[in-house]
Structure 1
Amino acid sequence: MKRRNFFKTGAKGALAAGLFPIMGDITAQTSSSSDKRLFNWNEGVEGIKGDPVRRKTLNVDVAVIGGGMSGISAAVSAARNGAKVVLVQDRPVLGGNASSEMRVTVNGVQSLSNKHKVERETGIVEELLIENWHYNPQESYPVWDHVLYNYVVREKNLTLLLNTSAISVEMNDDKIKSVVCRQLTTETDFTINAAMFCDCSGDGFMAASAGAEFRMGREGKAEFNEKYAPDEPDGWVMGDCFMMITKDMGKPVPFYPPEYAIPFDAETAFKDKHRKVKQVKEGFWWVELSSDVDIIGERDEIRHRLMAHFYGVWDHIKNSGNFPEAENIALDWIGSIPGRRESRRFMGDYILKEGDLLGNTQFDDAIAFGGWSLDEHCPGGIENLKEPASYFHSRFKEVYQVPFRCLYSKNISNLLFAGRNVSVTHMALSSTRIIGTCSMMGQAAGTAAAMCAEKGVNPRGLYQNNMNELQEQLLRDDSYFPNRPANDPKDKAKKVATIFASSTASGDAKLLLDGVSRDEIEKIHHWQSEGLNEELQLEWNKPQKLTSVEMKFDTNLQRKMMMHKNPAKNKGQVIGIPPELIKNLSVEARVKGDWVEVGKVDYNKTRLVKVNFNEVKTTAVRVKLKDTHGAESIKMFEIRCY
């Protein structure tokens, strides 16, 4: 296609060059695609004048602002649940703090004080981690960026806008009507009209511009009876920090600090056991800077001072003589954008508190879980060496629940949020801010947004009238929250007369119908075979009309799976697809007395396996479980039929 003819194909065609995949209703507002002046071809003697900004309108069901791990989870879950979605990310890559620009580990629940210790998150965040080991065993962060990109752009019903920032919001009473976003790379302003808006951007500019109520800083002890909170409220938030990666050069390498480096007071700093230099590979989380005034407005100043402090620390490591292991080590990469832990926290119908976490409050609207320790970083960061780098107030014996009422605005009727900006106190945020937990909240927010758009209700109405339906959908999509078994009335597997397997090494095939899709402390919820090439069969007394069979298999949820900047931290992990996971299977239905194959999966990479097929009327389903990615037997946690 000739370049000039390409631009004559219309506004949708032109936009498709910058967006993949394309969907939704998109129109140009500035001028027609045949207006050559828009593209500055300079045909003729007169110069080009006028407004250079292109303007387009995008009509969707759900707009997700922020393409970090929470935003990815929200956008993908909304799209999978039938909504037309746009995901807006202000950077050229997805992943937020976890991207190659910042390289924060996708940590989740770990260091629990029970025999599990690790209770890994499932659903979308697990799918991404498994895909990363499949495509990226070399542990490259730039490749990880593209794993995330591939995962998003292949999703039906989802449009991605990179390099795009929200700049203004149009309201209709207490409801967001539209948000205007500017894509710097194309000089285009998008007016995004949506039924539901999700702010997963961390700082929450869109939500704040809409007038959503928020807090910043620390609550005092008295307000929520939080024993680890300061005596009086103040403006301090947990600080920003840089990551780094080094390279062993095999010979001594000098280091010359930049002129702006700030000398490091090692004598004072190292009095705190948490500010030790245990390795010289991947940076130090305690090189951080905070604010008690406005961490958002001060970000560039903080970035400069943080770089100055970082180079001061590295100068000490390289040139003090106290770290001979650093003699051959050189900096290979250092971030230029600080990773952020805390800024605005938007208020919902419920504020999750320290006591809820420590007391394991049970919520009727649970939609996710957490369990990272109460890890409150020091006010002032590296400029406050008199206090510990972090207080690590408490570890948890068991995971706690996160309620849905923390994920939607109390005063803006069609606004949800997910990630570190949800409705929690400062003390609760010291645990809920971890990326795995935030991703689960993102999946819940996206699923809820799709439901709200489809039903024509707001999130509060969804909580009041459809909470059970939301929870059931999340559980079906492989989320988890403790003490809430699935009981989907649409699941026809619940109506079987019998379920049996060709062999059993542990558990029982009947446990696949108990509604809990993982083993819990002292409670098993699985069936495990004696070997490979096994069969599982379900029988009904009356014929059933089926179009899908959905199963959940083992990925060893008590083993860490994240990628690290320092490969030495991979001890105990598997660099690849979990060997326990099913690899190949087929599904058969008994139709008029004969077994007919209705679907199969080859080279499976997900814990949740859905086999869809044309409707059959059957009295039995048989699953042929062929092999795994390495384990010598097959472990399964759930089977459903729809």
Structure 2
Amino acid sequence: MKRREFFKKGTTAAIAAGSVPMIFTSCASTNNIVYDKPKDKWYHLGTGKTGTPNRKPVKNYDVAVIGGGAAGICAAVAAARNGSKIVIIQDRPVLGGNASSEIRVHLNGVNNIKGKAERETGIIEEILLHNRFENEQESFPVFDHVMYDFVVREPNLTLMLNTQAVEAVMEGNKIKSALCWQATTEKMFTINAPIFIDCSGDGLLAATAGAEYRTGREGKAEFNETFAPDEPDGWQMGATLLMSSKDMGKPMTYSPPSYAIKYTHEGASKRRKFAGFQDGIWWIEVGSDDDIIADAEENRHKLMGYLHGVWDYIKNSGKFPEAKNLALDWVGSIPGRRESRRFIGDYIVSERDMTEHKHFEDAVAFGGWSLDEHNPGGIENISEPPSYFHYHFKEVYQFPFRSLYSKNVSNLMFAGRNVSQTHIALSSSRIMATCALQGQAVGTAAAICNKRNMLPREVGQKHIKELQEQLLRDDVFIPKRPANDPLDLARKSSLIFASTSSSGDAKNLLNGMSRDIDGKINHWQSDGLSANVQIEWEAPVSLSKVELKCDSNVKRNIMMRKDSRNDELFNNGVPEEMLKALSIQGRVNGSWVDLGKIEQNRTRLIKFNFNPLKVTAVKVNMTETYGAENAKLFEIRCYT
């Protein structure tokens, strides 16, 4: 494929709405593009010199991640932690995507499967736990800064905000560079990398690279999907605009703005409910049967009108006396999008893969949100339910690596709602925490690509076990896939035992399953505190790392909610089961030596790193949790 001339497409150029300005004055040639600035007459009073600003930096990285939502953050952090030099490019001033303060969607995951949660672990759990420690007040604007802190503290990672990747420069079937416009600095960056990951949702970079994609709904026949329409069509689930209100303690009047669209609820489906309306209504939604990206600004204006029309109905119809003292406190201006491009990989995940729980040898993530397909038309089709909720899962399903890289652009991967799947499959896997698991998978795969000088397809074909084992080590759960890392010296131990036990067995800590699942116990739990677990080898082994997985109660969701729920399913604080204080010792020449101590642990995956030494035993001493009477562990690993 020949290198494209940037913006030669003229008025058909695919520039997403947001921070990217109109940056050409003519489509005739690149000489008139604003970042070239040949006519810029800059006179600098401080130096007394005239010149042209040089705002075309070139940067080189091992991996370029496009998009700073949950998927992009997890991809970038995973790749950085596994040794790659990363840039993450986000087109907004904040991270988080739909979960940011600009949109304020709950960062949902596998919340409730027939009464039991199967919450995601790994990097996405770290983010949510970090938020529980740093944002006890549950503020969305503060959550923006929590995510910012989480990203910028990684030493191998560079963050570029207010920046959009607008064009791929190709070399054969590979992306050589991404041209990225940073609106706040008037810079056009050229980002070079051997591996690109598009987690942007709409996938502009991937589209300009020529990656194959589709939009709309597949017909029943193509994948034998029960819930697909009889014939394919162009419908894509719509975007939603949210708001929140505040009780002012006195009656508050409301007058709708000029652009409000009158709403009456006449003829509306009974499933269009107003429960929790004070925190926003998710079915104020507009979709598209054509080009949902091109329609974005028109739909945004409609959504603002519909939102105020619905609020006018709530405040002034007389049917909601409980809204008497409420006033709008925040109104979104950026709709949260559910669907647009879906790129084609070596495999397209479909409805039956999920509902029949297909086993994939290359499984790297999981999901379990219901098949939650919103109706065509959204609020413009109020006689229909806002979502059909076709199917509720009884257990989680697997997601394969083959659906996370491009079929025809060899160094391009995806994570999020733009991965290789059908419209019906998307109705489940689009949930942000599921997207985050995909992100951690492709970020980890990208590091393997760099380490082995290969492309994603080859990782999937030749090194999938290496990828899976690293994900499992980094606390990602893969259904039906126990860990069996050949480098883990704990698995070669001769004995493991605990000081006390109230449930489970210390031997479970070596069985490769890091959560209780499918009715099976895979933990050890102490009988009170303090307590310890000891692991022994027949001959001395050289160690420099000990890694533990403690209990953070994956049966309760820890995402931030507007209603701050704290019940059997949701936890609005730090999980009381999680270990807070612990230490480890190694037995060297018959004597115990201190190897590490943590007094304020904040993660489920706990790592101790120390100088290499030969030991015949390791002891984990647990002294305090965040409130639970007993300590619980799921795994111990030891490495040289």
Q: TM-score range by the shorter chain?
A: over 0.9
Give the deviation of 1:602 after TM superposition: 1.8
| Counterpart residue number, 1:82 | 83
Q: Distance in 2 between matches of 1:571 and 1:328?
A: 31
SS in 1 for 2:266: helix
Contact 2:565 2:572 in 1 (8 A): no
The question of 1:555 aligning with 2:552 is answered yes
Contact 1:280 1:326 in 2 (8 A): no
Give the deviation of 1:273 after TM superposition: 2.8
| Counterpart residue number, 1:360 | 357
| Counterpart residue number, 1:148 | 147
Give the deviation of 1:214 after TM superposition: 0.5
| Counterpart residue number, 1:42 | 45
The question of 1:179 aligning with 2:167 is answered no
The question of 1:631 aligning with 2:628 is answered yes
Q: Which letter maps to 1:77?
A: A
Are the structure 2 counterparts of residues 636 and 571 from structure 1 closer, same or farther at C-alpha, using a change threshold of 3 Å? closer
Percent identity over the alignment is 59
Q: Distance in 2 between matches of 1:249 and 1:445?
A: 47
SS in 2 for 1:493: helix
| Counterpart residue number, 2:602 | 605
Q: Distance in 2 between matches of 1:87 and 1:461?
A: 24
Q: Distance in 2 between matches of 1:64 and 1:365?
A: 22
Q: Distance in 1 between matches of 2:259 and 2:364?
A: 47
| Counterpart residue number, 1:293 | 290
Deviations 1:150-202 (A, max 9, x none): 00000010000001111221111000001011111111121111010000000
Deviations 1:434-487 (A, max 9, x none): 011000000001000111111111111001100000000000000011110000
Q: Distance in 1 between matches of 2:572 and 2:107?
A: 15
Contact 1:281 1:566 in 2 (8 A): no
Query: Which structure 1 segments of 5+ residues have no match?
Result: 1-36
Matches within 5 A, 1:105-120: 105-113=106-114, 117-120=116-119
Give the deviation of 1:626 after TM superposition: 1.2
Q: Which letter maps to 1:94?
A: L
Give the deviation of 1:576 after TM superposition: 2.3
Contact 2:219 2:229 in 1 (8 A): yes
Deviations 1:49-70 (A, max 9, x none): 64x4511111110000000010
Deviations 1:225-245 (A, max 9, x none): 001000110110000001111
Q: Distance in 1 between matches of 2:543 and 2:508?
A: 21
| Counterpart residue number, 2:58 | 57
| Counterpart residue number, 1:27 | none
| Counterpart residue number, 1:614 | 611
Q: Which letter maps to 1:409?
A: S
Q: Distance in 2 between matches of 1:156 and 1:592?
A: 37
Query: Which structure 2 segments of 5+ residues have no match?
Result: 1-39
| Counterpart residue number, 1:576 | 573
Deviations 1:507-546 (A, max 9, x none): 0000000000000121010000001111110100111011
Give the deviation of 1:39 after TM superposition: 8.5
Q: Which letter maps to 1:56?
A: P
Matches within 5 A, 1:368-379: 368-379=365-376
Q: Distance in 2 between matches of 1:56 and 1:445?
A: 27
Deviations 1:100-130 (A, max 9, x none): 00001011112312x5x21100001101111
The question of 1:347 aligning with 2:333 is answered no
Contact 1:79 1:158 in 2 (8 A): yes
Moved more, 53-62 or 632-641: 53-62
Q: Distance in 1 between matches of 2:573 and 2:264?
A: 42
Q: Which letter maps to 1:373?
A: S
| Counterpart residue number, 1:31 | none
How many residue pairs align between the two structures? 600
| Counterpart residue number, 1:255 | 254
SS in 2 for 1:440: helix
| Counterpart residue number, 1:165 | 164
Q: Which letter maps to 1:401?
A: Q
| Counterpart residue number, 2:198 | 199
Give the deviation of 1:326 after TM superposition: 0.5
Give the deviation of 1:260 after TM superposition: 1.2
The question of 1:590 aligning with 2:587 is answered yes
Q: Which letter maps to 2:76?
A: A
Contact 1:416 1:445 in 2 (8 A): yes
Q: Which letter maps to 2:201?
A: G
Match 1:418 to one of 405, 415, 425: 415
| Counterpart residue number, 1:8 | none
TM-score (norm. length: structure 2): 0.92
Match 1:504 to one of 501, 504, 524: 501
Aligned Cα RMSD in Å? 1.4
SS in 1 for 2:206: helix
| Counterpart residue number, 2:93 | 92
Q: Distance in 2 between matches of 1:45 and 1:549?
A: 61
Are the structure 2 counterparts of residues 163 and 581 from structure 1 closer, same or farther at C-alpha, using a change threshold of 3 Å? same
TM-score (norm. length: structure 1): 0.92
Q: Distance in 2 between matches of 1:627 and 1:39?
A: 63
| Counterpart residue number, 2:27 | none
Match 1:465 to one of 462, 466, 489: 462
